[in-house]
Structure 1
Amino acid sequence: MYTPPHYKEERPEVLQALIHQHSFGLLISSGPHGVEATHVPFLLEVEGPGPGRLLAHLSRANPQWRHLEEAGEVLAIFSGPHAYISASWYTERTDVPTWNYVAVHASGRARVMEGDRLRSLLDRMSRRYEQTSAAPWSLEDVPEASLQAMTKGIVGIEIDITRLQGTQKLSQNRSAEDQQRVIHELKARGSQDDLALAALMEHPSRPR
């Protein structure tokens, strides 16, 4: 991922936090007919000082999983808040508009998982994504026969992350006055992404 030095984010804890918060990613790999890509929710697990591993599952009908182990390096892309930045917000209106955004690229090798490991993955993912529900759903709510039928229709994958790359483009190349003007205008426009970017500009060490 091309990233100018002033936008580059290299702190592992920040990149991992961004993945946790924006975990619906894009899995990209090479296949026999070219590039393959699937939008899929991920679970990031970190044990120790390493970058961690990504867990997900694909429909068995999706041909991408059949080529993952032979694909070499695969890429998972995670997009955080993003927003258009008008040049009218700058002190000098002769400058040009741009786009502020946050993104993380995670690269690694993928392995397929089935059987008991797949069921364990489903349990961990459901616990992760149900934790904010008032009445969390659980695998235990599903009759065994239905659960077996469900797991036959999907394939789990795990990716040991070998490289994390991050960009937080937050007007770092602008003057302090321009940055404050951008923050003000983002708050005034007020979309969810606008407010998240404004918060990141005010507190860049705190992922949103």
Structure 2
Amino acid sequence: MYLPTQFTEPRTEELHRIVRDNALGMLVTHTASGLEANHLPFLLDTSGGGAGVLLAHVARANPLWQEVRDGEQVLVVFRGVQGYISPNWYPGKQETHRRVPTWNYEVVHAHGTIHVRDDEKFVRGVVGRLTRQHEADQSVPWKMGDAPSDYMAQQLQRIVGIEIRLSKLECKRKLNQHHQVQDREGAMRGLESVGNHGLAQAMQNTAPPP
């Protein structure tokens, strides 16, 4: 990934936040038929230290788990807030007209090795943890025990666990950091006007100190 210094996010907690807030990752693998991309909800586990691990599962019918080699290098891409920036939002455009459109975004690239975990205990644990994470804001969270045990056992047999042992996380936050304050603020107002509050907030959070 092209990563200019001004767009690099070095804070580990921010990388982890983007991954957890945008759990649907794009897993890129290299198979005999070429590059493949699968879109999976991931759980980031950093309890073991180091860069951590990503946990997920795929349908047993998905050939991914049979096509990858154990320990093969893979990439998972997590995209955060993003959106188009119109030059009309920049006050500087009205003065000189020397402004052009751009696209602002946050993205995390997770590099690591993939390992297939085709065992019921592992899969049950992954499903349980993913469920707890994403049901946490429900008024009455669903849990695996709500389903009949025989039905849940059948469903678990239909999926295969995936573990990605991370070697590196890198993050790019392209949020107009290199623009003048008035143009950054104009872009944030423009984003608010079209309802892209998340991207406007991300720009606010990365604003340089006055």
Same-fold status (TM-score > 0.5): yes
**In structure 2, what is the Cα distance between the partners aligned to 1:32 and 1:71?**
16
Could you tell me which amino acid in structure 2 is paired with residue 2 of structure 1?
Answer: Y
SS in 2 for 1:88: helix
After superposition, residues 145-184 of structure 1 pair within 5 angstroms as 145-184=150-189
Q: Counterpart in 2 of 1:135?
A: 140
Q: Counterpart in 2 of 1:46?
A: 46
Could you tell me which amino acid in structure 2 is paired with residue 169 of structure 1?
Answer: K
TM-score of the aligned structures, taking structure 2 as reference length: 0.91
Q: Counterpart in 1 of 2:31?
A: 31
Change in 2 beyond 3 A, CA 1:78/1:40: same
Change in 2 beyond 3 A, CA 1:105/1:162: same
Contact 2:70–2:115, Cα closer than 8 Å, also in 1: no
Contact 1:12–1:51, Cα closer than 8 Å, also in 2: no
Question: Structure 2: any 5+ residue segments left out of the alignment?
Answer: none
| Aligned residues with identical type, % of pairs | 36
Q: Counterpart in 2 of 1:16?
A: 16
Match of 1:117 among 103, 110, 122: 122
Match of 1:201 among 188, 193, 203: 203
Contact 2:70–2:116, Cα closer than 8 Å, also in 1: no
TM superposition shift of 1:51: 2.1
Could you tell me which amino acid in structure 1 is paired with residue 110 of structure 2?
Answer: A
TM superposition shift of 1:31: 0.8
Could you tell me which amino acid in structure 1 is paired with residue 146 of structure 2?
Answer: D
Deviations 1:125-173 (A, max 9, x none): 1111111112211111222221221111100111111110111111011
TM superposition shift of 1:71: 6.7
Contact 2:177–2:206, Cα closer than 8 Å, also in 1: no
TM superposition shift of 1:87: 1.4
SS in 2 for 1:9: coil
Question: Structure 1: any 5+ residue segments left out of the alignment?
Answer: none
Q: Counterpart in 1 of 2:111?
A: 107
Contact 1:29–1:71, Cα closer than 8 Å, also in 2: no
**In structure 2, what is the Cα distance between the partners aligned to 1:122 and 1:179?**
42
Deviations 1:7-26 (A, max 9, x none): 11121111001101111111
Contact 1:37–1:64, Cα closer than 8 Å, also in 2: no
Number of residue pairs matched? 202
